[in-house]
Amino acid sequence: MTAVPTLYRVAMRVLAPLYRAKLYLKRAPTREIGERFGKDYATVRTTRPLIWCHAVSLGETNTVEPILQGLLAAGYALWITNTTQTGYARVGQLFGDELAAGTVYQSFVPVDNAAVIERFLAHVKPVAALFVETELWATTLAKLNQQKIASILVNARLSDKSFHGYQRAKRTSRSMMDNLTLIIAQDEDSAKRFRQLGATSDKIRVASSLKWSSKTNPLMIRRAMRLQEDWQLAPRRVIVAASTHAGEEALIWQAVQALPNARAVLLIVVPRHPERFDAVAEFFAEQTGNAVPRRSQHAAPSPQDSVYLADSMGELGVWYALADIALVGGSWVDIGGHNPIEAAVVAKPIIMGQYTQACQAIVDKLHDVGALQQAADAPALSTILADWLARPDAAAMAGRQGQALAKQHQDATYQQLAMILDCLDSHHERRVATQVRLIDNAPPPTQTDGKTIIDDFVP
């Protein structure tokens, strides 16, 4: 185990009580606070070997879900942790039956404090830990290594901006690279940056991004077809603005209003975070002069409504299936862009903003085949929208090109799952071999009367 730098450990010790105070001030549930500080966990009822998986929020949870399903099918149980409420809620939606059956457990992620992590690991007893994309905590990784528990960074991504951030804390970054067991990078650039941070080449693999593993959901398609009929949308063009953040709705609305045929367009807005639902509804009510129909209120848009607020969770596939054009948010503000593959798999032409560093490799591939365009501001966005709306055949062709590209990368889940399972097998073999060596080399214990005790070793 590579030790965690003292300065980092002191900082975490100072920050922990401040974080607890913040949770109290925001009136977080008592159980959530307990889980974040190593207490109040559900009782483990399974005899399966258990894998801990940490996914920060909604996007990471959706991304890693195919891998988790594969691990369940391989005979493992799962303990899933999240940082955000939306991620936690999504686990409940995806794994409701498994949570009830006791093959999946969930909690909020424990803070990166040695005592808290030790309590968490003592309760969960994982055989391995998976971390999605770039969620790394130095103390957690050190404790996993100390306890000979494999730690795997899945779908690992390291942007140039993040790389320079990690470089500023060289000793801490080096300790994390040393303590990780395996890094599955989603592109060669990320793999190179992990090596530059100190990860050895034998720890690094490269595979297609799990975001390519998004698949069409027949249930979502059927729901969309039913809504299109019930809402009488055939004469209208539907633009879906998905996973939007503060500031993006105003830009998108400006672009849509500038369209020559704006009255024939229905804009469906899907905010990324539920806590913004009411604020977005108020914004569009001010802009249109009318209350906005909302999914949460089971309202349907009338022919006179220009905006519909899809303020629900877990239905993004429905809205993409309903769209003529998909706008993917988190890209007109400096978030890095959300996953455009979810729109590509249902053959929708895609527009994103200039901030796509979180999924740049995917954006580049979709752009190269003509399935995705980027617009830096409202006028540029309006121009692209007007062109695709005026040329529906060209827009449909762009969508089909994206769908074909997505199908070419559908083996991403199998690639990464095979690497994970291979790592688990190898790590188990090394752990057993280490235990055998320790027993072979240790002096035999003796009873008080001097007689030697010889116990059979059972791995």
72-115 pLDDT, tens digit each: 999 999 999 999 999 999 999 999 999 999 999 999 999 999 99
Burial class (CB in 10 A: 0-12, 13-18, 19+), 455: exposed
Domain locations along the chain: 6-213, 218-407
Summarised one tens digit per residue, pLDDT across range 203-240 is: 999 999 998 888 788 999 999 999 999 999 999 999 99
User: Is 6-213's fold the same as 218-407's?
Assistant: yes
Task: Report whether pLDDT(453) > 50.
Answer: no
CATH classification number, 218-407, choose in 3.40.50.11260, 1.10.260.40, 3.90.1140.10, 3.40.50.2000 = 3.40.50.2000
Strand partners, 78: 51, 104
78 in Cβ contact with 71 (< 8 Å): yes
**Would you state the structure tokens that stand for residue 223, as one six-digit string?**
């729901």
d(CA 51, CA 149): 10
The pLDDT score that the predictor gives to residue 430 is 61
- Residue 343 CA to its chain's centroid (Å): 16
The pLDDT score that the predictor gives to residue 161 is 86
60 carries an active-site annotation: yes
Model confidence at 135, pLDDT cuts 50, 70, 90, reads: confident
- Among residues 35, 60, 65, 342, which one is catalytic? 60
User: Three-state DSSP class for 198?
Assistant: coil
Hey, CA dihedral for 388, 390, 394, 400, is it positive or negative? positive
Task: Report whether pLDDT(266) > 50.
Answer: yes
The pLDDT score that the predictor gives to residue 104 is 98
The pLDDT score that the predictor gives to residue 276 is 96
The pLDDT score that the predictor gives to residue 60 is 93
d(CA 412, CA 213): 6
Residue 442 or residue 286, greater confidence: 286
Give how far Cα 163 sits from Cα of 67, 112, 360, Å.
26, 21, 15
d(CA 312, CA 309): 9
The amino acid occupying position 288 is: T
6-213, CATH topology level? Rossmann fold (3.40.50)
Model confidence at 248, pLDDT cuts 50, 70, 90, reads: very high
Task: Report whether pLDDT(397) > 80.
Answer: yes
Model confidence at 32, pLDDT cuts 50, 70, 90, reads: very high
Flag the least confident range among 126-130, 160-164, 225-229.
160-164
Task: Report whether pLDDT(177) > 70.
Answer: yes
The pLDDT score that the predictor gives to residue 459 is 35
**Would you state the structure tokens that stand for residue 278, as one six-digit string?**
């009411």
